[in-house]
Amino acid sequence: MEPVTTTSYIVLGIALFMLLNSAALAVYAERRVAAFIQNRWGPNRVGPYGLFQPIADVVKLLLKEDVTPARGFKTIHAIAPMIPVFTALMTVAVIPFGDGLYATDINSGVLYILAINSLGVYGITLGGWASNSKYSLLGGLRAAAQMISYELPMGLAVASCILFAGSLSFIDVVNSQEVWWNVIRNPIAAVIFIVTAFAEANRTPFDLPEAEHELVGGYHTEYSSMKFGMFFLAEYMHVVVGSMLITTFFFGGYHLPFAGLWLPEMGVTAKAILDVSVFVLKTVFFAFLFIWVRWTIPRFKYNQVMKLGWKRLLPISIFNFLGLAVIVYFWHHYIA
Amino acid sequence: MDTKHIKNDVDPKFLKKHQESLYDALEDKHTTVEILDEDPLNTKMVLNMGPQHPATHGVLRLILQLNGELIEKAKLDIGYLHRGIEKIAENKTYQEFMPYTDRTDYLSPYSNNVAFCTAVEKIANVEVPERAHYIRMIGSELSRISSHLLWLGTMVQDTGAVSFFLWTFREREKIYDIFDHIGGHRFTISHARIGGVANDLTDDALAMIKDFVNEFPQELKDFHGLLDRNRIFFDRNRGVGVLPTERALEIGATGPTLRGSGYAYDIRDFEPYARYDEVEFEIPTRLEGDNLARYYVRMEEMHESIRIIRQCLDKLPKGPVRTDNAKQAYPSKDEVYYSMEGMIHDFMMTDTGICPPEGSESFHSIEAPKGELGYFIQSNGTGHPWRLGIKSPSYANLQALEDMLDGEMVADTVIMIGGVDPVMGDSDK
C-alpha cells in the first residue's frame, strides 16, 4: 500500500464531488432520456434545458413531510437509507481515473469493491423490514435474495479478469488492459458482469425489490422526504459506480483501445486530461445504457431472476473461469 | 422499540380486527388461516392488494394468502365503484340515461352507447337508417381499438416496461381527436342516439379516420416487433393465468378472455347486430388460455377492427343518420328551429321521451371490447324503464381471476389483472 499523499486527498475530494453531482446529473439524464424514448420533452423549465431540475427535485424532497410508519422501527428506518449512499461513496476510493490519479491503491482493491458494493443491500433490506409494511418487507426480501444470487457470478466474472492482471489491485487490473481490453479477452465474463451490475444496482430488468407495479415501490413504499431522496440518489450513484466498474474491469479503464500499441508519450497534464476524459466518456456511455435498458424492457419475475442467476449465470461463470485459468496457465508456462 | 411489550405495539386492536376480516374473507374460499397469537412467524402472510393500488385498474381489491412469493389462495373483493347506475336509469328517460352508459365502461363509451340504444330500439321497434348503422360500427370499432390500446399499454407497463404505456397513449390520442371531430367529445362521446346517431360524420372526421386506418397498421406492426420476440415479456406471460375452456364457459367469461381460452364466441358473428353481417372479419382465437393467448387475441382483434372500419368506409351509404319518425327519435334541428311541429316534438322527446309498449321487455347484447355487453330493459309503457339491467363483461371476466391467481406468483397478479382487462366502472356499475 502506498503512502497517502496530497494527490490522494485531491483526487478523493474531486471524485466524491463528481460522484455526488453525477447522481444529480444521472437523475436529469434519466428524465431526459426517458422523455426522448417516450416521445416527450422531459424537464425543460427549470434553468437552461431544465438542467436545474435535480436541484428543484431535491428542494422539493427536503420540504416534504418526513413520515415514519406508526409501528415501524424508527432507528433502523432512519439509518437504512444512509447505508447505500455510504457504500456508493466508499467505492471511489480505489478506482483509478487516470495514470496515477487514484485516491489509494490497496493491494486487495477488488475484494474491497466486492465487499463494499454488496453492503448496500443492507439498507434496502433493513429499510423494507423497518417500515412495518408487507409490501416493503417483500421488496426487502427480494433485494436480499437477488443480491446473494448475483454476487457469486459477479465475483467469478471479476475473478476471471484477475487471471490476466495477476493482482487484486485496481491499478494492475487497468494496466493489464493497456493493449487488450478484457472485453476482448474475456467477453463472456463481460456480459455476465454487465448483467450482474444491473442486478446489483436494482435497475430494470432486475428492479423487483422496487417493483413499482405489484409492490408499489417495494422497500421505499413507506419512505418520504429526504429519506426517500437518499434511496433515490443512492440508486443513481450505484448506476454511476456500476458504470465505472464495468469500464474499469472490462473496457480498459482510462485506456484508449490498444493504447499500448500506438499512443505516443505525452506530458503529465495532457495524459491526465486524456485519461480522465476517456474514463468519463466510457462511464457516461454505460450510464446511458443503464437508462436505456430501464425504459425499454420489462421486468423479470422473482423465480425467473433466481433461475437466471443460479442456473445460467453461475455455471457459465464457473466454467468460464476454469477454462480461462487453464488457458492462462498453459500460456504462461508453455508458450510465452 | 421495547421488545418486552412488543405485542402491545404490533398487535393493536384496529389492525387485529382488520386482519381478522381479511381472514374471514379467505374463509369463504374454504381456506383456513391459523391465527396463532403467540408466534407471528407461524401465521401465513395475508396481503391486501387494493382498492388503493396503482396496478389493480381502479378500485379492485384482492386478498392474497402468500407462501413466500407464491399465492396460495386469492379472494376478490369488488363493488367499490358501485354507483347504482341501474337504479338511476329508472328515473331517467331513455335518452337521458344514454350518457350514463358512457360512464360504465369508460374506455369504450361508443360501444356502450350502441349497446344501450340498440336495446331500446329493439323494445320500441325503431328502425335505424343504414348510414347510422355504419357510423355506429365505425365508432364501435374505433372504441375497441382505443380500449385494447389502453389494455396493451397498462398490461405491458405492469410487466415493467414503462415507456410502452406512452406509446400506446399517443395512438389513443389520435382516436380521441377523431371522436372530438365526430361528436364533439373526446372521452365520453355520447354520439349514438335512439333511432340513429347524433350527427353525420363531418368531412374532416372522415379524413381523420381514413388517415388513422392507413397509419395504424404500421404502429401495430411496431408493437408486435417490440413484444413478440421480447424474451422477458414472453416468459412473463406464457403459461401464466391459464384458464381452461370449460372453466371459462362455466364462469361465463366472454370477449378476449374466452376467445383466448379457445372458444370462438363473438356476438358480432354469432348474432350480428348493426350491419356486422355485411362485413368480413375473422374471430381471433387461441387455444392456450394463458395471458400470452389473450395478448395475441387482442392484438389480432385490433387488426380486424381496422379491416372492419375499412369496409365500413367503403360501403358507407348515403342517407339520413336518424330515423325520420318524430315519435321515436329527436327531429333534426332544422325542423325544431323552423317548424312548430318540430318544436313540439323536440319538447315531447325531452320531456317524455320514447315510450316502448307496456309490459314489453328485451335483452340485447353486443360485442364490447371487453366481451358481451348486454342491456335488459323492462317497460311499463312510460318514458322511463321499469327495470334496467346491465350484463357487464368485466364483472363476468373478473370471476375467472380467482381461479387464475391460485398457485401463481405475486408478480403475476398485476399482469393477470391486466390480461383480463377489467374496468371497475363496468364491473361495479
| Minimum-distance CB partner of B166 among A40, A208, A299 | A40
Q: Is B239 on the interface with A (CB under 8 A)?
A: no
Neighbours of A286 (CB within 10 A): 21
Residue at grid coordinates 371487453: B370
| Minimum-distance CB partner of A211 among B48, B233, B411 | B411
Q: Which residue of B has its CA nearest to A75?
A: B1
The interface predicted TM-score of the complex, written ipTM, equals 0.82
Output the pLDDT for position A107.
84
What pairs with residue A83 in β-bridges? none
Q: Is B398 on the interface with A (CB under 8 A)?
A: no
pLDDT above 90 covers a percentage of chain B that reads 5
Is the residue at A160 inside a domain?
A: yes
Distances (CA, A) of B329 to A152, A171, B195, B338, B406: 74, 86, 6, 18, 50
Q: Please answer yes or no on whether B410 and A295 come within 8 Å at the CB atom.
A: no
CA-nearest of B245, B235, B233 to B286 is: B245
DSSP string, B37-63: SS-GGGSPEEEEE-SS-TTSTTT-EEE
Instruction: Give the pLDDT band of residue B1 (cuts 50, 70, 90).
Output: very low
Q: Does the structure show a pLDDT above 70 at B340?
A: yes
Q: Which residue of A has its CA nearest to B1?
A: A73
Is the residue at A197 inside a domain?
A: yes
Distance CA A85, CA B56 (A): 33
What are the two backbone dihedrals, phi and then psi, of residue B364, each rounded to the nearest 5 degrees?
-135, 135
| Minimum-distance CB partner of B69 among A132, A298, A302 | A302
What is the least distance, in Å, from the CA of B243 to any CA of chain A?
Answer: 20
Give the amino acid at B269. D
C-alpha cell at position A282: 466510457
| Minimum-distance CB partner of B411 among A39, A132, A302 | A302
- Residue pair A314/A305 in contact (Cβ under 8 Å)? The answer is no
pLDDT in tens, B249-304: 888 888 898 888 888 888 888 888 888 888 888 888 988 888 889 999 999 999 99
Neighbours of A329 (CB within 10 A): 11
Which of A228-232, B45-49, B161-165 is predicted least confidently? B45-49
Q: Is B35 on the interface with A (CB under 8 A)?
A: no
CA-nearest of B342, B180, B364, B183 to B267 is: B364
What is the least distance, in Å, from the CA of B408 to any CA of chain A?
Answer: 11
Give the amino acid at B256. P
Element containing residue A103 per DSSP (H, E):
none
Which of the 8 DSSP states describes residue A166? -
- Residue pair A167/A261 in contact (Cβ under 8 Å)? The answer is no
Output the pLDDT for position B268.
86
Is the residue at A298 inside a domain?
A: yes
What is the least distance, in Å, from the CA of B156 to any CA of chain A?
Answer: 7
For chain B, domains (ranges, CATH) are 91-321+348-428 (1.10.645.10)
Q: Does the structure show a pLDDT above 80 at B389?
A: yes
Output the pLDDT for position B145.
92
C-alpha cell at position B117: 340504444
> Which residues form the domain of A159?
6-335
pLDDT along chain A (336 residues), means of 10: 70 80 85 86 84 86 84 84 87 81 80 85 87 85 86 88 84 83 86 89 80 75 85 86 89 80 78 85 90 86 86 90 89 80
Is the residue at A1 inside a domain?
A: no
In chain B, residues with a C-beta closer than 8 Å to the C-beta of A301 are 235-236, 409, 411-412
Is the residue at A51 inside a domain?
A: yes
Q: Does the structure show a pLDDT above 70 at B158?
A: yes
Instruction: Give the pLDDT band of residue B234 (cuts 50, 70, 90).
Output: confident
- Residue pair B39/B24 in contact (Cβ under 8 Å)? The answer is no
Strand, helix or coil for residue B378? strand
Number of domains observed in the structure of chain A = 1
In chain A, residues with a C-beta closer than 8 Å to the C-beta of B69 are 138, 142, 302-303
Strand, helix or coil for residue B72? strand
Compute the average pLDDT of residues B367-381: 89
CA-nearest of B215, B233, B242, B226 to B145 is: B215
Output the pLDDT for position B41.
63
CA-nearest of A179, A114, A110 to A147 is: A114
Compute the average pLDDT of residues B193-197: 86
Mean pLDDT of chain B: 84
CA-nearest of B411, B412, B417, B425 to B76 is: B417
Indicate which of A214, A294, A311 best probes the interface with B, i.e. most B CBs within 10 Å of its own CB: A214
Q: Please answer yes or no on whether A212 and B54 come within 8 Å at the CB atom.
A: yes
Output the pLDDT for position B69.
82
- Residue pair B398/B420 in contact (Cβ under 8 Å)? The answer is yes
Chain pair A-B, CB pairs under 8 angstroms: 91
| Minimum-distance CB partner of B162 among A132, A295, A304 | A295
Output the pLDDT for position B238.
86
| Minimum-distance CB partner of B411 among A74, A296, A301 | A301
Q: Does the structure show a pLDDT above 80 at B56?
A: no
C-alpha cell at position B235: 416468459
**What spatial distance separates the first Cα and last Cα of chain A, rounded to whole Å?**
30
Which of A68-82, B3-17, B124-138 is predicted least confidently? B3-17
Q: Which residue of B has its CA nearest to A139?
A: B69
What is the least distance, in Å, from the CA of A206 to any CA of chain B?
Answer: 10
Is the residue at A302 inside a domain?
A: yes
What are the two backbone dihedrals, phi and then psi, of residue B176, each rounded to the nearest 5 degrees?
-65, -40
CA-nearest of B33, B79, B159, B165 to B413 is: B159
